Structure 1
Amino acid sequence: HFHFEYTPRLLSPFTPLYSTVRPHGVRRQSSQLSPRSDTSWWCISSPLPLLRHFAPTHSGPPPRTPPPRRPARVRIRRRCGAMAIPVEEAIAALSTFSLEDEQPDVQGLAVLLSSERYATNSPIEYSDVAAYRLSLGEDTKAINQLNALIQEGKEMASLLYTYRSCVKALPQLPDSMKHSQADLYLETYQVLDLEMSRLREIQRWQASAASKLAADMQRFSRPERLVNGPTVTHFWSMLKLLDVLLQLDHLKNAKASIPNDFSWYKRTFTQVSTQWQDTDTMREELDDLQIFLSTRWAILLNLHAEMFRTNTVEDILQVLIVFCVESLELDFALLFPERHTLLRVLPVLVVLATSSEKESESLYKRVKINRLLNIFKNDPVIPAFPDLHLSPAAMLKELSSYFQNFSSQIRLLTLPAPHEIPPRELQDYQRHYLILNHMGTIRAEHDDFSIRFASAMNQMITLKSSDGADNDWSRDIKGNMYDTVVEGFQLLSRWTGRIWEQCAWKFSRPCKEPPISDSQQDSATFFDYEKVVRWNYTAEERRALLELIGYIKSIGLMMQHCDTLVSEALWETIHMEVQDFVQDKLDTMLRTTFRKKKDLSR
């Protein structure tokens, strides 16, 4: 049972005349109605009234055709139950429109190239029909839980990153209003209690997330799970959740306004709670929150306690370290956020893996310490937030005071922090981080990709217009389009990553003496933020940054405009690649494995 809806309205290049079919019971949104008063719409429960409406059953003189006001617009009205212009002619009038290039996009994207269509995202986890036990059923459920925690953690990090001090906005009472001090304490407590409740929510969430992550790691520490181990998707879910916990801990340590607000909150609580009953529970929660906020790296310490509560997890930690090192060395990360995630969590994994009671040297038998040193030296500054960064060397030195077993790793603890880099090595790092030194390569990449993308698009247009094209030729063109789109995403990601890395490098090394012009002789005081942003970029560096941003927007807009044309080719190529792997390559591999009696996991 469907509703047939027809809306006569002004025709434009972006709003063609058509009829839409909606399921019965779904109401039309008011924002979809035409804003003009001379238009109307009908919801018809069956197609018969619709046919009667368009049938020429009216009496009287034939309808008059109004003179065309403009060649590119046709006005449609409802008069006496009949249309002034037949629908066929109105639709045919669309061919008279002149569409110019570089027009603003009134409508959004029709098809999303990035869609969450992966096997682990199951709303019901197939628990309603348990026909047989799947070998990956337990892993799928765990991955879904970890992904949900990651999404919640990102919201917590956003809340903590945007936290601003409330104490600075509190009014100060003059001496003539000291009698209203009690009312001011009560109002202050009510304002701060709302903010402290959010911090308590973060405290409870991190405890729950650390417990679930530790339990998930302990599952793979059992002897029967050490053979196959986690899947790659499971690896990434673990690492991303650990990265979220690390960022929360770093934000908590960096926000000086949070302890100040808490001290005021505790003071006002002492004043207003004298007349309350049963405040012992509230005082206990207040003490727990104070310990959580005042202890540096409290989240990582809690995670360490949860991991080694029942049994050791050194094996899974070492497997994660090997995965991170190999992914960074072989450049397995597809996008720059994934690479930055690996760089952020690797120091934490090394500290956790060498902090157990077992011999920590077993880690360095699987991963040579020189490989870790090279990774930490190549990226001394890692972006975390727009104005916050992480340094592996600084993290290792600070965490060594909390993990005594790690304090013996002298080679890792002697890595220089960003402000300790010797001058002879500083020039090499600047050549790596500054965009100005890479603009020649970036321009060549931009021009080369633009030409190849336009060529691939022309082939797709030719394929669309041809009838009965050869299957092999069609598959080659669609496969080439798929490879080009993936390369475009990697190119955009790599350029965006360079902007983030340059920003982190500038924040780690602020300028010491900003240039002072004649107009600034009287006010020669500069804020720290100006030293890392305003006065920390030369004119050439600003010009290179703007040019790179223009390249990113140019390539992104070019790929966005072709989304509807290439989306089907992308999905078809992905489907064909998966089917070819499952039905051909995987089948051959299984037959070879069983014939030679080799372990499939190897």
Structure 2
Amino acid sequence: MTTHVTLEDALSNVDLLEELPLPDQQPCIEPPPSSIMYQANFDTNFEDRNAFVTGIARYIEQATVHSSMNEMLEEGHEYAVMLYTWRSCSRAIPQVKCNEQPNRVEIYEKTVEVLEPEVTKLMKFMYFQRKAIERFCSEVKRLCHAERRKDFVSEAYLLTLGKFINMFAVLDELKNMKCSVKNDHSAYKRAAQFLRKMADPQSIQESQNLSMFLANHNRITQCLHQQLEVIPGYEELLADIVNICVDYYENKMYLTPSEKHMLLKVMGFGLYLMDGNVSNIYKLDAKKRINLSKIDKFFKQLQVVPLFGDMQIELARYIKTSAHYEENKSKWTCTQSSISPQYNICEQMVQIRDDHIRFISELARYSNSEVVTGSGLDSQKSDEEYRELFDLALRGLQLLSKWSAHVMEVVGVLGSVTPISPSSIEVISYFLVKSIVHLILLQPITIDY
């Protein structure tokens, strides 16, 4: 007799099979699977350079140089952080008041114990700047060779050399500004000489070299300038570096504020290095090799830029200290004392609000279209649509960078100019303006968030 089973009963019987125990009498010895984490890193520092073979094998050499120079730039940044964060140790150490003081030996021993690691860092810094100058000059000499000048030098290579120029400028200025570095080394040297820690001639000579290195202002710049001037045609390569920075700055081919300010510092410091006994930047300008009027316009618009951290530097100072400035000072307008419209908060606020409203409106249009059409991450878009989204994201990052740069530049110029008179009204007004700049400039960014 055939039994009729409904479809619902059949489906319920199938569902019951999931609860049916099926012991296999085997112990569970398999461990739980371990989690795998993957992090993409596109900063390979040219580790894939070995892929360039046969006809383009010469790019392996350039990529290798790039890689080693990037490592040296990272090391230079570490020394810049060391100098910027340096705080005086010698002021906190008890001083020996007289030769008859009973515990003076103990004080000197503790002084050496505390300051010796810090002085070792300074010694390594001195060795590093020597090595960096020699490396930079060797690259300049190699590229300035008569046969090499016929070859193409990539923009990335020129920008890397420009970053080296910026590193030299930053390290030299930080060394000049930090008097506590010299004081700590002097305190260590006195204590070490008393305890006869530096008995061999080599240690005495190295200590003397470090003292001269720390005491002389612009020592890194002077050594770099002297070694560059003995290289035939060095000004041509520096002109290429300055021109690429001018092109990048003029066309806004930068993203972060630090990249923007780096381009300006390379222009100024590069002109200073080019103007000397061997080369004349005004003759290069007459030959249309460089464009001084365009650089003057940039320096006029933005007179003070952040150097490192909260320290600032005046760009016109590079021009004023160049070799042939006095007889050509009439060609420069950036060296005249005047407030640039770049620091006019009211004028900047109008443009910032307008840019903010335009971008938020366009961003909302794309967001609403995604909601209405129901297309999400899994939807396929055309190359043109992906390009539009990429341009929109890039424009948003550029706007955020531009506003951040405004904050840094306005606060920087206020921090570099002190009140003219010590009257209470002027002092209060000065610091009040400085404190509200952040609130005024950041206001449009927080409107819709």
* TM-score past 0.5 threshold: yes
The TM-score with structure 2 as length reference comes to 0.81
Structure 2: how far apart are the matches of 1:262 and 1:467? 63
Q: CA deviation at 1:319?
A: 1.4
Per the alignment, in what secondary structure is the counterpart of residue 312 of structure 2?
A: strand
Structure 2 counterparts to residues 424-439 of structure 1, below 5 A: 425-426=338-339, 429=340, 431-439=341-349
Does 1:450 find its partner at 2:360?
yes
Q: For residue 27 of structure 1, what is the aligned residue in structure 2?
A: none
Structure 2 counterparts to residues 28-107 of structure 1, below 5 A: 56=21
Compared CA separation, residues 474 and 259, structure 1 to 2 (3 A): same
One of 212, 220, 226 as aligned partner of 2:143: 220
Q: For residue 13 of structure 2, what is the aligned residue in structure 1?
A: none
Q: CA deviation at 1:414?
A: 6.8
Identity of aligned residues (%): 24
Compared CA separation, residues 126 and 174, structure 1 to 2 (3 A): same
- RMSD in angstroms over aligned alpha carbons? 3.5
Structure 2 counterparts to residues 530-569 of structure 1, below 5 A: 536-538=430-432, 542-543=435-436, 545-549=438-442, 551-552=444-445
Structure 2: how far apart are the matches of 1:164 and 1:152? 20
Unmatched tracts of structure 2, length 5 or more = 1-18, 29-36
Structure 1: how far apart are the matches of 2:54 and 2:447? 51
Q: For residue 211 of structure 1, what is the aligned residue in structure 2?
A: 134
Which range moved further: 459-468 or 231-240? 459-468
One-letter amino acid of the structure 1 residue matched with residue 292 of structure 2:
I
Which range moved further: 364-373 or 542-551? 542-551
Does 1:321 find its partner at 2:239?
no
Does 1:258 find its partner at 2:187?
no
One of 401, 415, 418 as aligned partner of 1:507: 415
Structure 1: how far apart are the matches of 2:377 and 2:199? 80
Does 1:406 find its partner at 2:300?
no
Render the CA deviation track for 1:165-205: whole Å, top value 9, x for unaligned. Answer: 11111124688992110110111022122111111111111
Q: CA deviation at 1:407?
A: 5.2
One of 467, 473, 495 as aligned partner of 2:403: 495
For the 8 Å contact 1:327–1:333, the answer to whether it is kept is yes
Structure 1: how far apart are the matches of 2:408 and 2:305? 9
Does 1:340 find its partner at 2:261?
yes
One-letter amino acid of the structure 2 residue matched with residue 410 of structure 1:
N
For the 8 Å contact 1:511–1:535, the answer to whether it is kept is no
For the 8 Å contact 2:46–2:66, the answer to whether it is kept is no
Structure 2: how far apart are the matches of 1:165 and 1:332? 40
Per the alignment, in what secondary structure is the counterpart of residue 450 of structure 1?
A: helix
Q: For residue 42 of structure 2, what is the aligned residue in structure 1?
A: 117
Per the alignment, in what secondary structure is the counterpart of residue 147 of structure 2?
A: helix
Render the CA deviation track for 1:342-362: whole Å, top value 9, x for unaligned. Answer: 111212211221224256554
Structure 2 counterparts to residues 103-502 of structure 1, below 5 A: 117=42, 121-123=45-47, 125-126=49-50, 133-172=56-95, 178-273=101-196, 278-358=199-279, 361-364=282-285, 365=287, 366-397=289-320, 399-400=321-322, 405-406=323-324, 409-411=327-329, 421=337, 425-426=338-339, 429=340, 431-460=341-370, 462=373, 464-465=375-376, 474-502=382-410
Q: For residue 7 of structure 2, what is the aligned residue in structure 1?
A: none
Per the alignment, in what secondary structure is the counterpart of residue 226 of structure 1?
A: helix
Per the alignment, in what secondary structure is the counterpart of residue 307 of structure 2?
A: strand
The TM-score with structure 1 as length reference comes to 0.62
Render the CA deviation track for 1:529-552: whole Å, top value 9, x for unaligned. Answer: x96xx752446x744522433544
Per the alignment, in what secondary structure is the counterpart of residue 171 of structure 1?
A: coil
Unmatched tracts of structure 1, length 5 or more = 1-53, 59-80, 82-109, 518-529, 559-602
Aligned residues: 417
Q: CA deviation at 1:327?
A: 3.0
Structure 1: how far apart are the matches of 2:230 and 2:215? 24
Compared CA separation, residues 135 and 152, structure 1 to 2 (3 A): same
Compared CA separation, residues 412 and 269, structure 1 to 2 (3 A): farther
Which range moved further: 328-337 or 310-319? 328-337
Tell me which protein shows more helix as a share of its residues: 2
Compared CA separation, residues 164 and 121, structure 1 to 2 (3 A): same
One-letter amino acid of the structure 1 residue matched with residue 391 of structure 2:
D
Q: Which has the higher contact order (CA 8 A, sep 6+)?
A: 2
Per the alignment, in what secondary structure is the counterpart of residue 390 of structure 1?
A: strand
One-letter amino acid of the structure 1 residue matched with residue 123 of structure 2:
R
Q: CA deviation at 1:255?
A: 0.9
Q: CA deviation at 1:151?
A: 1.2
For the 8 Å contact 1:383–1:504, the answer to whether it is kept is yes
For the 8 Å contact 1:515–1:535, the answer to whether it is kept is no
Compared CA separation, residues 367 and 216, structure 1 to 2 (3 A): same
